[in-house]
Amino acid sequence: MASNAPRTPSSNGSLDSAVPPGPLPDKWTDYKAKAKLINPANKRKYSVIVVGSGLAGGAAAATLSELGYQVKCFCYQDSPRRAHSIAAQGGINGAKNYQNDGDSVWRLFYDTIKGGDFRSREANVHLLAEISLQIIDQCAAQGVPFAREYGGALANRSFGGAQVSRTFYARGQTGQQLLLGCYQALEKEIAKGGVKMHPRT
């Protein structure tokens, strides 16, 4: 292989993104609807390795453990709280359309694709836009202190040039607060014995 050839994860030289087939908005929805479920009694027989414990890895480890899997979570730093996710200060997007300003899953999908200079995997970004609705609820349930309107409803602002207000935020500390929420969920599962942490590893 020439030194400037693209690196690929597979041995045969092809780059397989493993995106399911079908029309773009339905790819992951169809896949999730048809994927085989694992019997709850059998989940504890499976060990899952999670590498990294930022917002993505930490949430995956905590959630998989809550489902009953045995999770081994590897963290390069001394604590999951040191992950780069702590730097995300502006807020987290959710296409809830609380403001009734015309937002939708499709608009969040399109803005995210555009914001990524059209280089992201479209099906995966669509999945992100779909589950953005639940992620806000999950974070609020974990205790993330999102900003609220005087009446108690979660507040939104327009962020990153978006023409709709869909960004949920916690002052200028959203990443830190999200990571603390995620870390607490992870700690609960570590204490329960479902997650074995491997820090500095």
> Between 43 and 131, whose beta carbon lies closer to ligand FAD?
131
> Between 85 and 156, whose beta carbon lies closer to ligand FAD?
85
Q: How many helices (H) and strands (E) does the chain have?
A: 6, 5
What's the closest the beta carbon of residue 151 comes to ligand FAD, in angstroms?
A: 25
Give the separation between CA 79 and CA 54, rounded to whole angstroms. Answer: 10
What's the closest the beta carbon of residue 172 comes to ligand FAD, in angstroms?
A: 9
> Between 13 and 90, whose beta carbon lies closer to ligand FAD?
90
What's the closest the beta carbon of residue 64 comes to ligand FAD, in angstroms?
A: 15
Give the separation between CA 168 and CA 88, rounded to whole angstroms. Answer: 12
Instruction: Please name the residues in contact with 21: beta carbons below 8 A apart, sequence gap of 6 or more.
Output: 27
> Between 38 and 49, whose beta carbon lies closer to ligand FAD?
49
Which letter does DSSP use for residue 71 in this model? E
What's the closest the beta carbon of residue 55 comes to ligand FAD, in angstroms?
A: 4
39 three-class SS: coil
